[in-house]
Amino acid sequence: MNPLKCDYCDKPAVVHEVTVKNGQKNEVHLCEEHAQEAGVALPSHQPLNQLLTQFVISQTSKGKAMAKKPCPTCGMTYRRFRQTGNLGCPDCYQAFEEQLAPLIQRAQNGADHHRGKTPRRAGASDDRQLQIRQLVRELDEAVADEQYERAAQLRDRLRGLDPQSPGSKAVAEPDNEPHLSES
């Protein structure tokens, strides 16, 4: 059997559309090029399973790339963490933060932030600086996500920190607030 030709050229048709309207049958046959021109979704020459395999592989390879990137401090991989349940070193929390955050929230009844004791020792001032930076970042994110209640809480927490610290000063300044009041 000869393959049907395109309605517009001699190339073999790859898209066949049959519509029946008021008892009238209407057939359209298009080649790849003309189908594309007509904006018709193309059936691929590749079998579906091949397509899917590639889809799955491309997804997992993306996932793998993420998971394969080891912690720069201890060389731990995320994949290994999923196998053992234990991280390699304190820095892993930063290295895998993106993947860990949802997992931690699930394990910790939705909590995604520490509230409680903080070390009082000398290093703590560095921690406060870090805390301020972290809070500022989170505040920006909260505002960007239009989570204004959370933003207000974060701002209160920042104000609770040393007023001399640059982070809390910056946020306390009215200039930094317009996007909060704009809503």
Instruction: Give the integer Cα–Cα distance in Å for 167 and 159.
Output: 9
Segment contacting another protein (CB under 8 A): 59-67, 90-98, 140-148, 173-181?
A: 90-98
**Binding of another protein by 156 (CB under 8 A):** no
8-47 binders of another protein (CB under 8 A): none
Of the two residues 36 and 118, which places its CB atom closer to another protein in the complex? Answer: 118
For the chain, where are the alpha helices, taking DSSP H only? 32-37, 48-68, 78-84, 92-95, 97-107, 124-144, 148-160, 166-172, 178-181
Residue 119 interacts with another protein (CB under 8 A)?
Answer: yes
Residue 126, token pair as written in the block: 């560095």
Q: Is 89 near another protein (CB under 8 A)?
A: yes
Smallest gap from Cβ 131 to another protein, in A, equals 4
Three-state DSSP at 69 gives: coil
Distance CA 62, CA 56 (A): 10
User: Which residue carries 């805390």 as its tokens?
Assistant: 131
Examine residue 134 and tell whether it contacts another protein (CB under 8 A): yes
139 binds another protein (CB under 8 A): no
Binding status of residue 117 toward another protein by CB under 8 A: yes
85 is a contact residue toward another protein (CB under 8 A)? yes
Residue pair 54/65 in contact by the 8 Å Cβ criterion: no
How far is the CA of 134 from the CAs of 105, 130, 139, 141, in angstroms? Answer: 18, 6, 8, 11
151: which 2 tokens?
Answer: 């933003």
Q: Which stretch binds another protein (CB under 8 A): 15-23, 24-32, 46-54, 117-125?
A: 117-125
* Count of residues that bind another protein according to CB under 8 A: 36
Structure tokens at 172: 């306390």
Does residue 84 touch another protein according to CB under 8 A?
yes
Binding footprint of another protein on the chain (CB under 8 A): 73-74, 76, 84-90, 93-94, 100, 103-104, 107-121, 123, 127, 130-131, 134-135
